[in-house]
Amino acid sequence: MSAKMMCGGLADAENASEEIQKICDIVKCQVEKKSGKTYNVFIAKSCKKQVVAGTNYFIKVHLGGDDHIHLRIFQGLPHAGGKLELISIKESMKLTDEIDHF
């Protein structure tokens, strides 16, 4: 991993990998339920990670056109089941909007 990260701190943004897209695919139905919308396009663009007692993922997702959403997803440690949980979303975001802690 090339992104600089310290325990508890938010790492630098990096391009979304296949792993990050898979995480988005897994939580897509949770996102749609929380937002009350259905997304035909749902492509992970970039991500910041925060190592805590598990990992917080802050992911910028392209929804089509100039529409984006930011997701905060928590993944527990493997011994705790490693479950993915959608924590929160920021809607009406643009490609140029910085991913920050929310």
Q: Which of 1-10, 38-47, 69-78, 93-102 has the weakest average pLDDT? A: 1-10
d(CA 25, CA 43): 9
What mean pLDDT comes out for the span 19-46? 96
| Dihedral Cα 19, 68, 10, 57, nearest 10 deg | -40
Residue 8's pLDDT is 63
Residue 1's pLDDT is 39
Q: For residue range 52-102, what is the model confidence (pLDDT) as tens digits?
A: 889 999 999 999 999 999 999 999 998 878 899 999 999 999 999 999 888
Percent of all residues in the chain with a pLDDT value above 90, rounded to a whole number: 74
- Inform me whether the pLDDT recorded for 2 exceeds 70: no
**Which amino acid appears at position 4 of this protein?**
K
The residues pairing with 93 across neighbouring beta strands, listed in sequence order, are 68
Kindly report the three-state secondary structure assignment for every residue of 13-74.
CEECCHHHHHHHHHHHHHHHHHHCCCCCCCEEEEEEEEEECEEEEEEEEEEECCEEEEEEEE
Q: Locate tokens 């959403």: which residue?
A: 69
Ordered domains of the chain (ranges, CATH): 14-93 (3.10.450)
